[in-house]
Amino acid sequence: MSFHHVLRAGLLTLALALSAPVMARDITHAMGTASVPDHPLRVVTLTNEATEDMVALGIVPVGAARSANSDPWYDYLQTDLADTVVVGEELAPDLEAIAVLQPDLILGNKRRHEKIYDQLAAIAPTVMADTIQGTWKQNMALYADAAGAADKGQALLDAYAARVASIRTGLGDHATDEISVIRFLAGQSYAYYPASFSGAILSDIGFARPVAQQAEGLAGLITKERIGELAADRILHFTYETGDGQADSEAQSWQAEALWQNLEAAKAGHVYAVSDAVWATAGGIMAANFALDDIEKIYDLPASR
């Protein structure tokens, strides 16, 4: 082999080495410890929470699980994820599609993906948060750290906290209002508790919750006979509609009930329909900020972003 060929081969090897992510950090997560690159180049996200956290950090996943009840992403993610490959659903990731993408980091959630962790970890270093919904800030910090963007992640969380503080100040005497939350699905409805994503946002602001919505867990099934338990200063409701109209019908039938119409919040016009994606299913920092936008509009506060 000539000197020039040797030199060219050496330069190519060096270029590849310099472009490849370096395995340099151990991240402790819900399933153990994973050795991850300093700055992963090809990230796959298996929850919408992780997907929008990465987008907020300026990291576009090469693959992501489909946003719930969407084709394939929530509207506010469509542009950023134009070149991102769908790798199945949150509850059913497509392992083959993930492997084809040759990721150097996979982000998932133990509650969703514990049973396939070993298979995922065999494809690429995999980091999992422990649970989902109300722990979104802890999860955001974990994902940002795994992606080599801990400082930027903390800056985003600090900005969220500053918005919360601004809203709390702007609310004045309304800062301790009691807020009731209900979600309508096809044939059933749920009251949402403080441990849920929506509950965590409301708790951050300092809002109180009805006694019946101070239970453990994320949410509890509620029937029309218990509409009185929704009594509060304001009521937020969201609907998980899949396209057959049944969830919308459920929402309409509840609000047509005399018990609902007799609620003080209903009589005062303090009942608000908000996005199900934002308040229930998206789960990340982008959704959290959209939820704060809603609170500012509901209380006629100046926009803080």
Q: Residue 251 and residue 237: Cα distance in Å, rounded?
A: 9
Series of mean pLDDT values for 10-residue runs along the chain (305 residues): 41 43 81 95 97 98 95 95 97 97 97 96 97 93 97 98 97 97 96 96 97 94 97 98 95 97 98 97 97 98 93
Say how far apart CA 164 and CA 182 lie, in whole Å. 22
Helix residue ranges, H only, 32-125:
48-56, 95-100, 110-113, 117-123
Give me the pLDDT at residue 15, please: 41
Site of tokens 């019908």: 249
CA gap 61, 85 in Å, rounded: 8
Q: 261-270: list long-range contacts, CB under 8 Å, 24+ apart.
A: 263/227, 263/228, 263/230, 263/231, 263/235, 264/231, 265/180, 265/230, 265/231, 265/232, 265/233, 265/234, 265/235, 266/235, 270/233, 270/234, 270/235
Q: How far apart are CA 272 and CA 281, in angstroms?
A: 18
Q: Say yes or no: domain 157-298 is CATH 3.40.50.1980.
A: yes
Q: What is the pTM of this model?
A: 0.90
pLDDT the model gives residue 12: 40
Sign of CA dihedral 131, 122, 151, 302: negative
Three-state secondary-structure class, residue 213: helix
Query: Residue 237, SS3?
Result: strand
Q: Are 154 and 141 in contact (CB under 8 A)?
A: yes
Tokens 């995922």 sit at which residue? 120
What is residue 184's predicted lDDT score, i.e. its pLDDT?
98
Distance, CA of 121 to CA of 118 (rounded, Å):
5
Q: What is the pLDDT of residue 21?
A: 52
Contacts of 179 (CB under 8 A, 6+ apart): 202, 207, 208, 209, 232, 233, 234, 235, 236
- Please identify which residue in the block is written with the tokens 């200063």: 233
Which residues are paired to 182 by β-bridges? 191, 237
Question: What pLDDT shows up at residue 24?
Answer: 75
C-alpha closest to that of 94 among 75, 77, 72: 72
What pLDDT, on a 0 to 100 scale, did the predictor assign at position 22?
54
CATH topology for 18-148?
Answer: Rossmann fold (3.40.50)
Write the DSSP symbol of residue 6.
Answer: H
| Token pair in block for residue 200 | 């965590």
Residues of the chain with CATH 3.40.50.1980: 18-148, 157-298
